[in-house]
Amino acid sequence: MAHIDYYLATISPYTYMVGDRLTEIAQKHGATVTYKPLDIMQLFARTGGQPPKDRHVSRQEYRLMDMERSAKLLNMPFNVKPAHWPTNMAPSSYAIIAAQNAGGGDLPALVAAITRACWAEDKDIAQDEVIRDCLSGAGFDPSLADSGLLSGAETYAANLEEAVMRGVFGAPFFITDDGARFWGVDRLSHLDAHLAG
């Protein structure tokens, strides 16, 4: 059975735009997925990238245009300048890690809900009540927002170290069990083709 390690950032617009397509691809090919939330700003610092605010103005302008166009093509609601961005991504990442460990809910739906809250609903995904609502909506116990914080922090840090070691430099980033790497929401079709052989 094929496997995909999915490195994601809860404040990444392109992680939001993955939507349910990764789940569809995984189901199509009988692949399993492990979700690996990480600190995208630390990843940039470690791999030669820059936070959007520090990029040349040409890159900043293009990023805004590209995000808006991409969301329209995907028919996804999108606020190009959300009210609570950037925000502390650790609490929402810990919740995803706790939910993955606990099981029993819909993990892809949780990731979609958290990223949608940021990019389409103008909610602060660092706030407990927002995270609890996302957990509950995806079929998880909302108390996971407060449990396993130490374990979540350790896994979150380990995900970053692992990502750097494995050649990850952005999000979303997908690595298959045979070592193939795919960066960006626009490479999901490449991932699909790779899994098809």
HEC assignment per residue over 119-187: HCCCCCCCCHHHHHHHHHHCCCCHHHHCCCHHHHHHHHHHHHHHHHHHCCCCCCEEEECCCCEEECHHH
> The pTM is what?
0.97
Q: Give the angle 51-113-162 at the CA atoms, nearest 5°.
A: 50
Structural domain boundaries in the chain: 3-196
Contact 88, 40 (CB under 8 A): no
Query: Residue 130 has what pLDDT?
Result: 98
Averages of pLDDT over each 10 residues, the chain, 197 residues: 97 98 98 98 97 96 97 97 96 98 97 98 98 98 91 97 98 98 98 97
DSSP state for residue 37 in the 8-state scheme: E
Domain 3-196 CATH superfamily: Glutaredoxin (3.40.30.10)
Q: What is the dihedral of CA 146, 94, 10, 143, to 10 degrees?
A: -30
